[in-house]
Structure 1
Amino acid sequence: MKTPWHVWVVGGVSLLWNSGGAIDYLMLRFRVEAYTGQLTEAQLGFFESLPVWASIGWALGVWGAWIGSVLLLLRSRFAGTAFALSLLGIGVNSIYTYGLAGAEVDAGMGAVQAWFAVAIVVITAGLLFYARAMARRGVLR
């Protein structure tokens, strides 16, 4: 089956989008001063105080989505699984971020960041549904 043009567009745009998340993750994890210097003390403190299970969720969310994008471009049927794992990771991290962290999040997150978090979930869910649809059509093997 010939690969539809939109697979390349969705795969390419999703890889760019998810690379942004991967860069953010690496910059924060490796504490790159040029990057972390732009954060407030409250924001930096939040990331440094994440419990291990929330950090694992964050990593799974970021890297699952990035790998899903690569797998989509490789036309692998496992792209959907990677996006599903990403959503699981986002959910785990969100339990801490929005359910347990409380005032720490309120101090470091404004309205823009809150809407951005919603956009991440919506886009990742969209990519999951897209990858599954392409797998059902036989585009992903």
Structure 2
Amino acid sequence: MTDAVKTPWHLWVVGGLSLVWNAFPAVDFTLTNMQNAAWLSQYTEEQKAFVLAAPAWSNICWALGGFGSLLGSILLLARSRHAVSAFLVSAVGLLGVSYYQLVQNGDTLKKLLGDVPLYVNITIWVILLALIFYARAMKAKGVLR
């Protein structure tokens, strides 16, 4: 059986790059919550205390954001229409994390890490929105089934 719509070459490029990009938050979440000493050694004691004191709802949002995007990338490579849903779940998680970091604790985070969290958040949002729009376009063209 052949596919009705041929897979465009750019799906493999976008899917592969997004898989590499989205593996990081899954690894970061896992190693941080396992309190891996080598992973957390990049932080000062004050920064580490802040990161590890995050409330459960923020960690749930972090997990949804990170693992949702990782799953979205895998589903994109598998040409599944569910990639769109996974990326949208990731956006909900990212919204929660962004709120916790930038709204609820913006001043504290700025003192601890400067403007880096703001720029990282903006970058993640831009890439995630691009992935959502890309996956929706591929679904509309019938590439994702």
Alignment partners' CA distance in 1, 2:83 and 2:42: 34
Greater CA deviation, 74-83 or 23-32? 23-32
Q: Which of 61, 67, 72 is residue 68 of structure 1 equivalent to?
A: 72
Note if contact 2:98-2:121 (Cα within 8 Å) is conserved in structure 1. Answer: no
What SS class does the counterpart of residue 42 from structure 2 fall into? Answer: coil
**What residue number does 2:36 align with?**
32
Deviation at 1:2, TM superposition (A): 0.9
Alignment partners' CA distance in 2, 1:109 and 1:117: 13
Please, what TM-score do these two structures have when normalized by structure 2?
0.92
What SS class does the counterpart of residue 76 from structure 1 fall into? Answer: coil
Gaps of 5+ in 1: none
How many pairs were matched up? 141
1:96 and 2:95 matched: no
**What residue number does 1:49 align with?**
53
> Could you say what the CA RMSD is over the residues aligned between the two structures, in angstroms?
1.2
Amino acid at match of 2:79: R
Structure 1 runs (4+) greater than 6 angstroms displaced: none
Q: Which of 8, 13, 16 is residue 9 of structure 1 equivalent to?
A: 13
Note if contact 1:75-1:140 (Cα within 8 Å) is conserved in structure 2. Answer: yes
1:22 and 2:26 matched: yes
What SS class does the counterpart of residue 48 from structure 2 fall into? Answer: helix
Deviation at 1:31, TM superposition (A): 1.1
Amino acid at match of 2:113: M
Amino acid at match of 1:95: Y
Greater CA deviation, 6-15 or 87-96? 87-96
**Aligned residues with identical type, % of pairs:** 44
